[in-house]
Amino acid sequence: MTNQAAPPSRRDKCLPDGARFLKSWLGRPLQVGAVQPSGRALARTMAGYVDPAVPGPVIEIGPGTGPVTAALLERGIAPERLVLVEYSTEFCSLLRRRYPGVTVIEGDAYGIAATLAPRTLPPATAVVSSLPLLTRPVEQRLSLLRQCFAMMRPEGPFIQFTYGAAAPIPARGVDYAASPSRRVWLNVPPARVWVYRQAR
């Protein structure tokens, strides 16, 4: 007889986002990577690198409880353009309730090519990532970056934040380059956004 996870209690459904993140981090620290969701200033900084006028889907990976999703919607990205890839079943349920019209896919973002293969999406405008990349080997981070480049328009940005001082993926490669934002001091802890683009 297989054990099935119990459905979330009413108390769990009423948890504030910070408590949800802490609970998930305690259970899966390497997959969640943070003890609290991105702050509003950081989310707006990330969304600011996405041009709503450029057509195509906007793929968000590791959305968690959705602070960057909210910032993308505020930025002017229509809900039907947003494709969210989230590993946590609990967070997927929350995102579907919180953001009707947004596509939420439960799956592995590090294997994003396989995860999204059944969808036959047009070239993406951008990929926005809140994944805890520093918990993964650099080869896996580079693989993720190149999978995302293959899904995007040639000029599309891969947008990633980090709490660290160094780039979360090496800042320069044979086929890409990256540039950082100023440090977002209003976030707790302070963070920086790195934007990666394919070499032309």
Please tell me the least confidently modeled range out of 21-35, 118-132, 150-164: 21-35
Q: Are 52 and 126 in contact (CB under 8 A)?
A: no
Q: How far apart are CA 79 and CA 154, in angstroms?
A: 23
Helix (H) or strand (E) holding 147: helix 138-151
- What pLDDT band is residue 4 in, cutting at 50, 70 and 90? very low
Q: How far apart are CA 74 and CA 196, in angstroms?
A: 23
Q: Are 133 and 141 in contact (CB under 8 A)?
A: yes
pLDDT given at position 16 = 59
Q: List, in order, residues 6 or more apart from 176 with CB less than 8 Å away.
A: 145, 149, 196, 197, 198, 199
Tens of pLDDT, residue by residue over 21-34, are 455 545 555 444 45
Q: How far apart are CA 76 and CA 59, in angstroms?
A: 15
Residue 177, pLDDT > 70, answer: yes
Q: Which class for 168: exposed (0-12), middle (13-18), buried (19 or more C-beta within 10 A)? A: buried
**Mean pLDDT score, 71-80:** 98
Q: For the chain, give the longest Cα–Cα distance.
A: 56
Sign of torsion, CA 122 123 124 125? negative
Instruction: Provide the 8-state DSSP code for 186.
Output: T
> pTM for the whole thing?
0.83
